[in-house]
Amino acid sequence: MTMISDPDMPAIELGTQEVAAGKPSRKGTIGVVVAGAALVTLVNLTAAVYLYRGMNDLRVVETRLEQLGQFEQRIGARLDTINNGFQSRFEKLDSDLQANFNEIDRGIARLEQNPPLAASDEGMSAAEPTVVTTSTAEEAPAVAENMAEPDAIEMPRPPRKRAPAAAPPPNPAYQRIQQADGKVYYRKIN
């Protein structure tokens, strides 16, 4: 190959390129793209961290809400137990009062049918009880002798035994729960 060279022409260097005016260079474009990608990556990482923290906080709140629901159920069950205990006590007191009123009504009815014999001859002939008050040890044998005489002291009547009142039928709005230790609880049925 033949080369024609003109000594007046400037030589062209292959290593340097001139940038046209108004056109960005490749290095600047690549730098802008890398900076933009780094900024987007930084924003995504920040959003991921906040999202992760928010999810953890949400899990903690959900766990506490579940515990709160269980706590509410336990409190409700205890309140029902206490309410049932009070109700059973009130029902027992009511049945005791009804039994006492019935006993009084029966006693009044018997008194109306059989009036007491206040002015009978047997009541007048009975000896009055002897009351001896002693303060010395010497008079103690005399008191013991007076106590031995059946006519000297009138013994009070022993109280009559009451027949236990029949238990009222169970309320269908409550469930009866008997535990192994013998305690009985009632829970309201919703």
Amino acid identity at 151: D
Q: Does residue 126 or residue 99 have the better pLDDT?
A: 99
pLDDT confidence of residue 58: 95
Least confident segment among 10-14, 30-34, 49-53, 118-122: 118-122
Hey, what are 97's tokens? 């009062």
**Per-residue pLDDT for 150 more than 80?**
no
pLDDT confidence of residue 49: 97
pLDDT band at 94 (very low <50, low <70, confident <90, very high): very high
CB contact at 8 A, 174 and 105 = no
User: Mind giving me the DSSP string for 44-80?
Assistant: HHHHHHHHHHHHHHHHHHHHHHHHHHHHHHHHHHHHH
pLDDT band at 153 (very low <50, low <70, confident <90, very high): low
- Using a pLDDT cut of 70, give the percent of the chain over it: 64
pLDDT confidence of residue 92: 92
pLDDT confidence of residue 25: 80
CB contact at 8 A, 142 and 130 = no
CA gap 157, 173 in Å, rounded: 45
Report the chain's mean pLDDT, rounded to a whole number. 77
Is residue 160 classed as helix, strand or coil in its secondary structure? coil
pLDDT confidence of residue 141: 52
pLDDT confidence of residue 21: 56
- Using a pLDDT cut of 90, give the percent of the chain over it: 29
pLDDT band at 119 (very low <50, low <70, confident <90, very high): very low
Mean pLDDT for 75-90 is: 89
pLDDT confidence of residue 13: 64
CA gap 31, 23 in Å, rounded: 15
